[in-house]
Amino acid sequence: MKTENRLESIADLLLEIASILMVSGANTNRVDVNIDRFASVLNCESYSLISQKTMILTVIDNETNENYTKVKNLPAHKIDFTIISAISKVSWNALDEDWSLSRISQEIETIKKQKRYPRLVVLLAVSFAGAGFCKIFGGDYLNLALAFISTFFGLFILQAAHKRKFNTYVSVFLASLTASLLASLGVYFNFGAQPEATLATSILFLVPGVALINSFTDLIDKNVLNGVVRFTNGIMTVLAIALGLFVAMLIFQLK
């Protein structure tokens, strides 16, 4: 394989790996470290500029010093820590066993084909978590049931909105409004011992913990641009959640 063609193949692979890591919720430093690790296996050096929507990567062959630069746009983000962990494991195996380019490509394709949890399993698991938070805040079984239902339908709306490619913040607002409206029924009709706990915990599944944590780690790692962007995205998401809650409370005239 000619050096130029080889560098192009390496750049395509590294960009694909970086893209998968970013959209799965990895912080910028983790993406850089994994790319550098794979590049070293392939006897290259890599230099990247990573943003939330675009990546620019330059690959340099250590033997010939030839270089190749390529740009890639990122797809919509879908948090999946299983993929991040799997790619990290593959990078270490590749380094220890000196894998070839084709072997790394095969492993990445296998990871990409991993099936996510079924939609119903995610809905039920997150809903049980919402009910658990309600219990922590002092809710009784009636409050827990309503928190479960509110979270279930709120997440259902969020998934449906994402599937139809709605704006992210509009999707969060609709999910927050749906969950808050259902939970507000408990406050309005005074269901259970702590109906306010149901309302407070019904929207917790929307809190952008990954974005806010990654923004902090990016800032610590001096990836200031990505840190600020992620922090802004997190704040915008929080505002969308608050707006949905505010509208629901306004409809039911809750104080």
**pLDDT, tens digit, 9 for 90 and up, residues 31-78:** 999 999 999 999 999 999 998 889 999 999 998 899 999 999 998 888
13 and 130 in a common domain: no
* Type of residue found at 28: T
Q: How far apart are CA 242 and CA 205, in angstroms?
A: 13
Phi, psi of 56 (to 5 degrees): -120, 125
135 and 247 in a common domain: yes
Q: Which of 112, 131, 150 is the last residue of a domain?
A: 112
127 and 200 in a common domain: yes
Q: Which of 91, 112, 133 is the last residue of a domain?
A: 112
Which residue segment(s) compose the domain that 34 sits in?
Answer: 3-112
Phi, psi of 222 (to 5 degrees): 70, 15
Q: Which of 112, 136, 161 is the last residue of a domain?
A: 112
pTM: 0.90
**Total number of domains in the chain:** 2
Q: What is the pLDDT of residues 186-212, one digit of tens each?
A: 999 998 889 999 999 999 999 999 999
